[in-house]
Structure 1
């Protein structure tokens, strides 16, 4: 069973690293560095406590603007996620549930703030659904396992499709 978990973790890690590499406009690089789980934890904590540029959004926000805000939140989350996965792979241990809880909670908070009050477009609905799934995964005993469920994956695919229709490429 342990062998399967390690293989599963490595496969998920490779997938997430690929998605992180496809992020696009992320200008920060960490070439040559190997961040620890502590770094990932502090990065996730600072990301979730940082004020969002999307705070105070209004219903006049377009789907494109919403998707751009969601893309920004995803791009801000990816370095902490990549660092956590890299740390787990290097140590040969299971990923830390605490770190993933912080990452998912920060992502959920940021994308929830991005949705204007009363918004009910396809993109807004997809973002709300994904935020709810991220919150459920973060609240689970093991956020890694909880984020591997079909509802979470479908919510991510729905955001990707809705934002693509709005002219913004996101990968969740």
Structure 2
């Protein structure tokens, strides 16, 4: 159990630091070309990638990212509460937090139809779901796939004008 606590503390600390870094780059966030979410739209509009919607319509990428950021902030708060309780949290606490994150991301992504951001949110939710059912959530959260999907979602949200780190 002590190894679990150390692993969770390291992973949670890394997650909190990543979430705390939401405002690293300011001025060029809305014009970053690397992760335009309008890749699947049929109209060739270069005017507003930050407010584009998927081919099936729905919420804009900016709205999706704001909802994803909110879910991430809630996760951060829950982790902080668990870590500040004065005793080592049980694995079930971290599993519950990650399950909540998964559910919120899936619900928010549904409003985005088939946009790139909605797809990344679903991918991120799937990885959070894997952590939620893992016997050792600390180790499960420290996998390269989860980190990559989080980086991709962060970049897409940055392009949509929302500063968030996942």
TM-score by length of 1: 0.66
- Kept in 2, the 8 Å contact 1:130–1:155? The answer is yes
Q: Which residue of 1 aligns with 2:60?
A: 62
Give the unaligned 5+ runs of structure 2: 24-55
Of the candidates 134, 139, 146, which is equivalent to residue 140 of structure 1? 134
Q: What is the CA-CA distance between 1:170 and the residue it aligns to?
A: 1.0
Secondary structure at 1:115 match in 2: helix
Distance 1:10 1:139 in 2: 18
Secondary structure at 1:141 match in 2: coil
Of the candidates 133, 148, 152, which is equivalent to residue 158 of structure 1? 152
Output aligned runs, 1:67-78, within 5 Å.
67-78=65-76
Aligned residues: 134
- Kept in 2, the 8 Å contact 1:59–1:116? The answer is no
Q: CA distance change for structure 1 residues 17 and 133 in 2, over 3 Å: closer, same or farther?
A: closer
Distance 1:83 1:106 in 2: 15
- Kept in 2, the 8 Å contact 1:23–1:75? The answer is no
TM-score by length of 2: 0.69
Higher mean C-alpha displacement, 78-87 vs 138-147: 78-87
- Kept in 2, the 8 Å contact 1:133–1:152? The answer is yes
Q: Which residue of 1 aligns with 2:125?
A: 131
Q: What is the CA-CA distance between 1:108 and the residue it aligns to?
A: 0.6
Q: What is the CA-CA distance between 1:59 and the residue it aligns to?
A: 3.4
Give the unaligned 5+ runs of structure 1: 25-57
The structure whose RCO (Cα within 8 Å, separation 6+) is larger is 2
Superposed CA RMSD in Å reads 2.6
Secondary structure at 1:171 match in 2: coil
